[in-house]
Amino acid sequence: MIKDEGPGIEKEDLRHIFERFYKGKQASENSIGIGLALAKTIIEKQNGYISCHSKRGEGTVFEIKYMK
């Protein structure tokens, strides 16, 4: 689990964050929208999965699990 206590991710953005080239409302100017899509691809090719849970004002949790 990777957790932060940042501003969180908007609910509308949450369902799209693993899509290639998607940039949420809070994305930095330098973002090109491939980081999470690339991470998801790599994790899934290694028989795993990644999920994200976030609440505005409380932070975000990414959970990564690998299957044997």
3-state secondary structure 31-68: CCCCHHHHHHHHHHHCCEEEEEEEECCCEEEEEEEECC
Q: What is the pLDDT of residue 13?
A: 92
Q: What range defines the domain where residue 11 resides?
A: 2-66
pTM: predicted TM-score of the whole model, two decimal places: 0.84
Q: What is the pLDDT of residue 25?
A: 81
CATH number for the domain including 24? Answer: 3.30.565.10
Q: Report CA torsion sign: 65, 21, 28, 30.
A: positive
Contact 9, 26 (CB under 8 A): yes
Per the structure, the count of domains in the chain is: 1
Residues 14-65: pLDDT tens digits? 999 999 999 888 888 889 999 999 999 999 999 999 999 999 899 999 999 9
